[in-house]
């Protein structure tokens, strides 16, 4: 869990860089701050204490306070809130009709104790071996092909691929710290572009 209020920004991480996350208001020595909880599992129970979600097994009995469930179909990931009317759990100020709500980026989840969580699908940049694309992929920074297996980064905003291994550190290019195509920041310390502080 990364405390945003304790740092200038949330740092990009290798672990959890491509997964959805929940923003929670966490207790800290300097006062409440926003923190990020990566959603690496398939199912989570909502609970009354920080971090307000607990990873659960898919076959476990549903929690009385509602659950958060991940689904994947043909490579597309979706997250759902499942809760009965008795659960007293709201998404964007409303209880889910029929007990089911599909989550979208920046949706607010409010628990019975008044705690607000924010769901986010924003990705952080991650260096991975380039898997290939079935055709030649040219790095927009250096103009050279990106070979399969080469360390590379896909822009979180537009999916453009860049080299990221010496001597071709094209994503973290110090003289021009943004994506050539969409302007997304490439500074490894830039953190997430959106936090609940933006509300």
CATH number, domain of 55, equals 2.60.200.20
Residues 20, 101 share a domain: yes
Q: Are residues 81 and 61 in the same domain?
A: yes
| DSSP letters for the chain | -EESTTSSSPPP-STTTTS-EEEEEE--TTS-EEEEEE--SSEEEE-SSTTSEEEE-TTSPPPTT-EEEEEEETTEEEEEEE--GGG--EETTBPPGGGEEE--TT-EEE-TTS-EEEEE-PPPP-EEE----SS--B-TTT--B--TTSEEEE-TTT--EEE-BTTB--TT-TTS-B-TTT--B--TT---S--GGG-
Give the pLDDT of residue 18.
Answer: 56
> Could you tell me which residue, 47 or 61, shows the higher pLDDT?
47
Question: Is 40 found in the same domain as 116?
Answer: yes
Q: Is residue 26 over pLDDT 50?
A: yes
**143 Cα distance to chain centroid:** 30
Q: How confident is the model at residue 27, as a pLDDT? A: 78
Measured CA to CA in angstroms, residue 25 lies from 16, 66, 67, 124, 151 at distances of: 19, 19, 19, 20, 35
* Domain endpoint, select from 72, 99, 123: 123
Phi first, then psi, for residue 70 (nearest 5°) are -100, 140
183 CB-near residues (< 8 Å, 6+ apart): none
Question: Do residues 65 and 39 lie in contact, with contact meaning Cβ atoms separated by under 8 Å?
Answer: no
* Range(s) of the domain holding residue 150: 126-199
Q: Is residue 179 located within the same domain as residue 131?
A: yes
Question: pTM to 2 decimals?
Answer: 0.73
Sheet containing strand 21-26, edge to edge, reads: 2-3, 33-38, 21-26, 116-120, 108-110, 90-91
For residues 169 and 71, membership in a common domain is answered with no
What's the domain count of the chain?
2
- In this prediction, residue 199 has a pLDDT band, given cuts at 50, 70 and 90, of confident
d(CA 20, CA 122): 7
One domain, residues 149 and 196? yes
Dump pLDDT digits (tens) for 101-116.
999 999 999 998 889 9
Cα–Cα distance between 80 and 78 in angstroms, integer?
7
What confidence tens digit (pLDDT) does each residue in 129-162 have? 999 888 999 999 999 999 999 999 999 889 899 9
């Amino acid at each position: 869990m990364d405390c945003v209020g304790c740092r200038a920004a949330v740092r990009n991480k290798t672990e959890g860089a491509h997964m959805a996350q929940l923003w929670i208001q966490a207790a800290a020595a300097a006062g409440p701050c926003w923190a990020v909880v990566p959603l690496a599992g398939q199912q989570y129970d909502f609970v009354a204490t920080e971090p307000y979600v607990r990873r659960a097994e898919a076959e476990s009995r549903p929690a009385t306070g509602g659950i958060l469930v991940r689904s994947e179909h043909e490579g597309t990931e979706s997250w759902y809130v499942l809760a009965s009317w008795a659960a007293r759990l709201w998404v964007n100020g409303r209880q889910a009709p029929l007990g089911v709500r599909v989550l979208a980026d920046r949706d607010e989840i409010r628990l019975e104790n008044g705690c607000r969580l924010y769901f986010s699908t924003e990705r952080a940049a991650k260096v991975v071996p380039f898997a290939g694309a079935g055709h030649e992929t040219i790095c927009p920074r250096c103009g050279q092909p990106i070979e399969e297996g080469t360390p590379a980064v896909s822009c979180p905003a537009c999916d453009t691929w860049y080299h990221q291994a010496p001597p071709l550190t094209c994503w973290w290019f110090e003289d021009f710290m943004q994506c050539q195509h969409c302007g997304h920041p490439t500074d490894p310390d830039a953190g997430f572009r959106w936090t609940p502080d933006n509300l």
